[in-house]
């Protein structure tokens, strides 16, 4: 089997939540909003289209023509605002399958992406993109088969609804769980389902417990979780590696260093998501191991 088919890697192109925050205090972890690329076998899967998608798109230009499957968790702005700047979508011969869940009476992912590119928000419409774009409306809980890959989703606890995804392939599994707010008394069974026995879980840990429960500026009801809750999920679901993700734009590099140190004391196999970071579940030179 060729090495290109013996591959499961995860690369982070945007790790911030809410709003992009470039600047001298976010250099090490990065300031782009969510975009995660998974190379699984011969397929390229992309999760969310925040501002990190623009950077990913630039890196793909030397490979033209390209194809990929793009999965959106929801259409809040920080998860779609990079799509109008995704250069490969403007180039003929490229092909992208684009997926998003649709509840009854809800707009399709195509409509949501198109709306943000209409006047007065953007100068050119989605229709100017020349790549072959195929849009797929997913039911909540549906499974997508892409060759040997299975991508399943489940509903998360987030205002306006969002879904998390689990990617399974040849006995490996990675879960992408953002944006979600934990429940005060119990772990969300939907989150545990996505995370169960996964090699890697990428989890929305926007806040600390102290910030979440602050008497001055409580974040209860804002739709996000904490690194402490992420560890509870990782322990309960027997997760091999936990990735702290969707960093608050107010958390600078030094603050995130401290979060990472504290998290590792409680769950040693915790890492902090940073732009450019790659996790290798499987590649031709390092079979059967998880490495960063």
pLDDT, tens digit, 9 for 90 and up, residues 18-54: 999 999 999 999 999 999 999 999 999 999 999 999 9
Task: Specify the pLDDT at position 282.
Answer: 84
**pLDDT band per the 50, 70, 90 thresholds, residue 74:** very high
Q: Is the pLDDT of residue 287 over 90?
A: no
Compute the Cα dihedral for 78, 159, 110, 169 and give only its sign: positive
The mean pLDDT of 211-238, rounded to a whole number, is: 97
pTM score over 0.85: yes
Segment 3-14 shows an average pLDDT of: 88
pLDDT greater than 90 at residue 279: yes
User: Could you report the per-residue pLDDT of 76-119, keeping only the tens digit for each?
Assistant: 999 999 999 999 999 999 999 999 998 666 789 999 999 999 99
Work out the percent of the chain whose per-residue pLDDT is above 90. Answer: 91
Name which of 53, 58, 38, 120 is nearest 83 in CA terms.
53
The reported pLDDT for the residue numbered 1 is: 38
Report pLDDT for 4.
58
pLDDT at 283: 74
Q: Taking 60 as the threshold, does the pLDDT of residue 230 lie above it?
A: yes
Structural domains of the chain, with CATH: 3-282 (3.60.15.10)
Q: Model confidence over 126-175: pLDDT tens digits?
A: 999 999 999 999 999 999 999 999 999 999 999 989 999 999 999 999 99
pLDDT for position 265: 97
CB 71 within 8 A of CB 47: yes
Residue 2 has pLDDT above 50, yes or no: no
Q: pLDDT band for position 5 (50/70/90)?
A: confident
- How far apart (Å, rounded) are the C-alpha atoms in residues 19 and 145? 32
Please tell me the predicted confidence (pLDDT) of residue 291.
52
How does residue 249 score in pLDDT terms, banded at 50, 70 and 90? Answer: very high
Angle between helices 253-266 and 227-236 (to 10 degrees): 30
Beta-carbon contacts of 276 under 8 Å, excluding residues fewer than 6 positions away, are 11, 12, 13, 30
Q: What's the mean per-residue pLDDT of the chain?
A: 94
Sign of the Cα torsion 17, 22, 28, 30 reads positive
pLDDT at 285 over 90: no
Extract the tokens encoding 158. 């987030």
């Amino acid at each position: 089997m060729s090495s290109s088919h013996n591959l499961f890697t995860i690369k982070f192109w945007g790790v911030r939540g809410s709003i992009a925050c470039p600047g001298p205090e976010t250099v090490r972890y990065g300031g782009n909003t969510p975009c995660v690329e998974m190379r699984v076998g011969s397929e390229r899967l992309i999760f969310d289209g925040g501002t990190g998608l623009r950077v990913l798109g630039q890196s793909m230009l030397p490979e033209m023509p390209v194809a990929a499957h793009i999965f959106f968790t929801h259409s809040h702005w920080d998860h779609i605002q990079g799509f109008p700047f995704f250069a490969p979508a403007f180039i003929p011969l490229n092909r992208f399958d684009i997926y998003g869940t649709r509840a009854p009476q809800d707009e399709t992912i195509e409509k949501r992406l198109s709306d943000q590119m209409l006047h007065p928000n953007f100068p050119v419409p989605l229709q100017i993109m020349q790549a072959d774009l195929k849009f797929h409306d997913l039911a909540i809980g549906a499974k997508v088969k892409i060759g040997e890959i299975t991508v399943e989703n489940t509903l998360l606890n987030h205002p306006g609804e969002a879904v998390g995804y689990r990617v399974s392939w040849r006995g490996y599994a990675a879960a992408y769980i953002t944006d979600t707010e934990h429940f005060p008394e119990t772990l969300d069974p939907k989150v545990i389902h996505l995370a169960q026995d996964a090699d890697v879980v990428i989890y929305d840990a926007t806040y600390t417990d102290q910030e979440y429960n602050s008497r001055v500026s409580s974040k209860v009801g804002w739709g996000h979780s904490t690194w402490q809750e992420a560890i509870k999920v990782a322990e309960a679901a027997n997760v091999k590696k936990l990735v702290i993700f969707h960093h608050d734009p107010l958390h600078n590099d030094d603050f995130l260093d401290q979060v990472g140190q504290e998290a590792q004391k409680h769950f040693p196999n915790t890492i902090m998501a940073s732009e450019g970071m790659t996790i290798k579940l499987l590649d031709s030179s390092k079979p059967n191991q998880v490495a960063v």
